[in-house]
Copies of this chain bind each other. A is one copy, B any other.
Amino acid sequence: MKQPVDVVTQDAARIARAISHPVRLQILNELREGGAYVMHLTSVLGRPQANISQHLMVLREAGLVTAIREGMTVLYQISEPEVMAVLDALLILAEKRRTRQQIASGPLPEGDVHHAGRRRRGKCRCPRCRQL
């Protein structure tokens, strides 16, 4: 199927650019299971609400996430499973790299690689966290 490869390449580049920011990667990771509310992302990632919204706009415009209004709040979800496949491939590569570094320069005190570094702050009041 040797077609307008360039159209696909252009779109692939746009997708990669949308993914290529640490905060946006974290957002996508948080959406992994069933999506998340903006409020939740703001709380978990510890960034100003406007900034989270800006990053969500980038992800929306790249077609990587979809927004569903639920009253006052908005639930964001990964738009299709292929998006997560890209994210996973990226994380596998990055993780492999860190493992190599770790072997070379000594172990680091860290838990699960994919959800490492942060913990929920427990003061999120999004619809989902309220139910717990």
Q: How far is the CA of A1 from the CA of B47 in the complex (A)?
A: 8
Please tell me if A129 contacts chain B, counting CB pairs below 8 Å.
no
The contact of A90 among B16, B45, B97, B110, by CB within 8 Å, is B16
**Contact A89/B91 with A3-B47, A20-B20, A114-B4 known, Cβ cut-off 8 Å:** no
Which of A32-40, A69-77, A115-123 forms contacts with chain B? A115-123
Please tell me if A83 contacts chain B, counting CB pairs below 8 Å.
yes
Q: Which DSSP category, helix, strand, loop or mixed, fits chain A's interface?
A: helix
Residues of B within 8 A of A90 (CB): 12, 15-16, 86
Residue from A20, A92, A108, A112 with most neighbouring chain B CB atoms (10 Å): A20
> Known contacts A5-B117, A7-B98, A11-B97; can you find 15 more A-B pairs with CB under 8 A?
A1-B48, A6-B112, A6-B117, A7-B112, A8-B91, A8-B98, A8-B114, A9-B26, A12-B90, A12-B91, A15-B94, A16-B25, A82-B92, A85-B89, A86-B86
